[in-house]
Amino acid sequence: MDSTVTSSTQRSEGLAALRKWADQNRRGLSAAVIFVAIWLLFLLTAPGTFSDPLAYRAIFTVMPVDIILAASLVFVIASGETDLSFPSIFGLSSYAFAFIASNGGSPIVGLLAALTVGALCGLLNGLLVTKLGLSSLVATLGMNFFLRGLINVLTQGIGIPLTFLLDTPFYNVMAGQIGEFPVAVFWAAFVIMLCLILFNLHKIGAHITIVGDNPESAKEMGIDVARTKTITFIIVGLCAGFAGVLSSLINNTWWPTAGDGYLLRTLAAVFIGGTPTWGGVGTVAGAALGALSVGFIETGLIGAGLTAFWTQFAYGLVIILSLIGHRFNQGRYR
């Protein structure tokens, strides 16, 4: 008798804890629901493609880049700003990598140079926004054009082949394969872990959300608003640099257009992932799931026998439907 009472109390306590956890993580969870829904939809409509491990290998080969970019953007958006310059930071910093590596330099030095260029571009974005008081939307839009222009002027539009790196230890560690499994997935997982720790457990993550929520309150409580926002831009720059190097290695080539196609699909991934546009909240795990969702849409449509013309149509539909879903989710729990 006693033991039944205890176990039922324990169960209800367990349930309460689970409900609390679900409530606290509702944004990430609804991103998971969207991801699973997309996956199931394609599993039903394109069973041939989505039951074949090869499809997942194809997805996981390119997804690390999307996941790293999306995770980093959560920081800047949660701080109440935005960054549209990451595609060109991606291009410029991976150019630094390709230039050094192709001129006989160590690829590790090249990677460090890429991270440095990314961080410096992020710092510049941060200073433009916090010191000069420019709108981050417009300032980073300008930076995106400016940096891409700089790349074109520097390279005269000529790419750099990186095939000479194939099968070097550096290549194998960064973008090789373990059996059939792409190593880059581990790097994405590593970056996600770092981002999760920074955003959810470290005080800088708390400061970022507080600044995005109410900068005046943050200032009154002694949080350095300008410094906090600048850090978010630097995080984006660093991740864009790292993603750029990974992408160049995966493609065996550095292109002057590197990063160009990532702007809208990465933003879509962040918003599908459950980070709202208004600042103060965000979810790194959700952004990673959002990036996977976007990747699945692309592969899934082709697998389902639709032409690539449908891709944008499907993106649009998924973005709008998931925003409606997140909105509904909030209304219900608040």
Partner 1 sequence: MNTPFIELKGIYKSYGNVNALNNVNLIIEEGRVLGLIGDNGAGKSTLIKLIAGVHSPDRGEMWLRGQKVTQWSVARARAAGIETVFQDRALADQQTIARNIFMGRELTNALGLIDYNRQRREAERLMREIGFTSRVFSPDSRVMTLSGGERQGVAIARAIYFKAQLVILDEPTTALSLTESEKVFAFIRELKARGAASIFISHNIYHSFDVSDYFAILDRGSIVYTADKSRVTSAEVLIHKLQTVARHGTLDVEHS
The answer to whether the CB of 65 falls within 8 A of the CB of 250 is: yes
* Measured CA angle at 252 (ends 249, 254), to 5 deg: 80
Long-range contact set of residues 173-182: C-beta below 8 Å, sequence gap at least 24: 174/111, 174/245, 174/246, 174/249, 175/246, 175/249, 175/250, 180/53, 180/57, 181/57, 181/60, 182/57, 182/60, 182/61, 182/64
204 scored as a contact of partner 1 (CB under 8 A): yes
197 scored as a contact of partner 1 (CB under 8 A): yes
Q: What type of residue sits at position 228?
A: T
Q: Which of 71, 210, 238, 287 binds partner 1 (CB under 8 A)?
A: 210
Q: Treating both helix axes as pointing N-terminal to C-terminal, what angle do 203-213 and 225-251 enclose, rounded to 10 degrees? A: 110
How many amino acids of this chain bind partner 1 (CB under 8 A)?
Answer: 24
219 scored as a contact of partner 1 (CB under 8 A): yes
173 scored as a contact of partner 1 (CB under 8 A): no
332 scored as a contact of partner 1 (CB under 8 A): no
Q: Are strands 177-178 and 181-182 parallel, antiparallel or unpaired?
A: antiparallel
281 scored as a contact of partner 1 (CB under 8 A): yes
Q: Lay out the site mask for partner 1 across 108-127 (x = CB under 8 A, - = otherwise).
A: --------------------
Q: Which of 202, 305, 324, 327 binds partner 1 (CB under 8 A)?
A: 202
Q: How far is CA 285 from CA 104, 160, 169, 201, in A?
A: 38, 34, 31, 13
59 scored as a contact of partner 1 (CB under 8 A): no
Q: Which of 166, 221, 321, 324 binds partner 1 (CB under 8 A)?
A: 221
Q: Which stretch binds partner 1 (CB under 8 A): 57-65, 123-131, 176-184, 194-202?
A: 194-202
The answer to whether the CB of 308 falls within 8 A of the CB of 302 is: yes
Burial 311-329 (b: 16+ CB within 10 A, else e): beebbeebbeebeebbeeb
230 scored as a contact of partner 1 (CB under 8 A): no
Nearer to partner 1, 213 or 260 (CB): 213
306 Rama class: left (phi>0) / alpha (psi -120 to 50) / beta: beta
Q: Which of 53, 220, 307, 331 binds partner 1 (CB under 8 A)?
A: 220
Nearer to partner 1, 177 or 327 (CB): 327
Quick one: which of 114, 62, 79 has its CA closest to 218?
79
222 scored as a contact of partner 1 (CB under 8 A): yes
Q: Lay out the site mask for partner 1 across 4-43 (x = CB under 8 A, - = otherwise).
A: ----------------x---x-------------------
Q: Which stretch binds partner 1 (CB under 8 A): 98-106, 124-132, 149-157, 217-225?
A: 217-225
Nearer to partner 1, 85 or 209 (CB): 209
194 scored as a contact of partner 1 (CB under 8 A): no
Q: Which of 142, 176, 256, 280 binds partner 1 (CB under 8 A)?
A: 280
Identify the three-state secondary structure at position 253: strand
The answer to whether the CB of 53 falls within 8 A of the CB of 201 is: no
Q: Which stretch binds partner 1 (CB under 8 A): 34-42, 142-150, 200-208, 318-326?
A: 200-208
The answer to whether the CB of 118 falls within 8 A of the CB of 241 is: yes
2 scored as a contact of partner 1 (CB under 8 A): no
CA dihedral defined by 65, 67, 68, 73, rounded to 10 degrees? 120
Nearer to partner 1, 193 or 320 (CB): 193
158 scored as a contact of partner 1 (CB under 8 A): no
First to last CA, the chain: 39
Residues at the interface with partner 1 (CB under 8 A): 20, 24, 197, 201-204, 206-207, 209-210, 213-214, 216-223, 280-281, 334
